[in-house]
Structure 1
Amino acid sequence: MISTLLNYLANSSAITYIVLALLSAYTVAVFWIFLYRNSAINRLLSNEKRSLEMLTSGQGRFSPLSLLNQCSNGSTSKEILHACEISIIKDASVGLSWLAIISSTSPFIGLFGTVVGILESFAVFANESKVSFSVIAPAISEALVATAAGIFVAIFAYTFHQILSRKIYELNIFLKAQSEILVAKG
């Protein structure tokens, strides 16, 4: 496996290196964004869930760790609470657009690498009088590595985007529920 990879890299062009380097940077970015944002959103979810439980259990007060409490400064004004909800959700969703961009562009970057690899293979084959399938197949399969790498990155970026979007949706529900309770209590 390693010898195949080293052989692939030894026979690759500059475009292939650029495509694989960009997709590697995308992979690092995807995992970094997910790990960083997932832990931050989980913390927010935990705090807001605890605060909602305190409000619904009859204690009638926010958790001191609630961002809604910190933002509204104890106000029960519907407008202020709504503005705080928007601000918290905006801050929680930082990085999601990058995951969406990466999930949609990485397959195209991989496809670009594949097309260039195939064109380079055909340019080499043009100088030979007879080319058999046994010569063409390895060259084309090597070119397809870039597409596979692009799809690999896109799968993780899209999956992580969906996971974080769902958690932000849950956070929004907790914030809205708290706001409704506070406005109802006056």
Structure 2
Amino acid sequence: MMTTRTRRTAALYGAVPLALLLAGCGGGDDDGAKPSGALPAASATPAPATSSADPDAAEKAAVLAAYSSMSAEQAKAYGKADAKGTQLEKYATLDALGQIRNDLARMKAAGTVVRGGIGHDPKVTALDTAAKTPKATLTDCVDLSSYETYDTKAKKVIPLPTEQPLRYVMTVSAEKWPNGWMVTAINPQGGPTC
């Protein structure tokens, strides 16, 4: 039989993998207090292309900008366990949004929000601009050194699981739609450490 604490822990840990994608800080408890030591959001904004050696440099920069914007909007949502007031639909397709919404529902049920900064170091590792719908794959070195899951009911930080590496590689898929690049899938399980 599952106890209330076991269900709550299961809900929290179910939300952790995708929540690890965040790019910034968030608040969420009723008193609006910011946790001590909260860090500003890590930037994943790509540097402008300075060389014409890569004919796909502009497209790669656009993919990275879309991913960075989605991560920033996701950080806002996870900071309050609610997507209201964000522009996630502008940067993520229904499949990717479904992952995020499932996470938000688990977080809300567990009474948790995400705080602290998450570092990102994304790179475009595959790009197919010749396809009918151009596609890209990104790998991101996610850094959780300053990440926190905060229990809004108990007013305390919940530590990451001991087996969770603080830096790991995560993959993301994107497609170029009429309005620009969109994140289509996120692999929250992560890969090797980085």
- Which structure has more helix as a fraction of its residues? 1
Same fold (TM over 0.5): no
- Which structure has more strand as a fraction of its residues? 2
TM-score (norm 1): 0.27
Highest RCO, 1 vs 2 (Cα 8 Å, sep ≥ 6) = 1
Query: Which has the larger Rg?
Result: 1
TM-score (norm 2): 0.26
